[in-house]
Amino acid sequence: MAEYRKPLPRPENPELTKPFWEAAKRHELVMQRCKKCANWIFYPREQCPYCFSQELEYRKVSGRGRVHSYTTVYQPASPAFADEAPYIFASVQLDEGVRVATNIIGIPHDQVKIDLEVEAVFEDVTPEWTLIKFKPVS
Ligand SMILES: [Zn+2]
């Protein structure tokens, strides 16, 4: 595999997000869920944005959902992604109801549609980092 030269995640709170990234390495998708109000939460936080409880836990989710919204990126903000343009930056709503900012891959960019059924794919880009993207359900 060619050396990965694009920017990697730089979590502001590595301890808080560690379960998410460790699960990604195992090719599992986990999200925080509030033990008090049962809402799913993404991105990871220290406090539930719905009821302010700090009793949050990571739980495995289906990894399946639908495109909620998307845009086609023709001119990436970072030149490191220029070779991939045009590509899809999307908000995917998981079956559990929580929304994730991600990329849609495995489909021509002009064929992506709202409500397209998608599933998580795991890209092991370095030994330390696995990135989560989504592709159409086959
Ligand atoms: Zn809550």
Q: Which amino acid is at 71?
A: T
Helices (H) and strands (E) in the chain, counts: 1, 8
Residue pLDDT, tens place only, 75-93: 998 899 998 999 999 999 9
User: How far apart are alpha carbons 100 and 65 in whole angstroms?
Assistant: 10
Q: Is 98 helix (H, G, I), strand (E, B) or coil?
A: coil
65 C-alpha to ligand 1 centroid (Å) = 22
Burial of 32 (0-12, 13-18, 19+ CB in 10 A): buried
114 C-alpha to ligand 1 centroid (Å) = 29
pTM score over 0.85: yes
Residue pLDDT, tens place only, 32-67: 999 999 999 999 999 999 999 999 999 999 999 999
Could you tell me which residues are beta bridge partners of residue 53?
none
133 C-alpha to ligand 1 centroid (Å) = 27
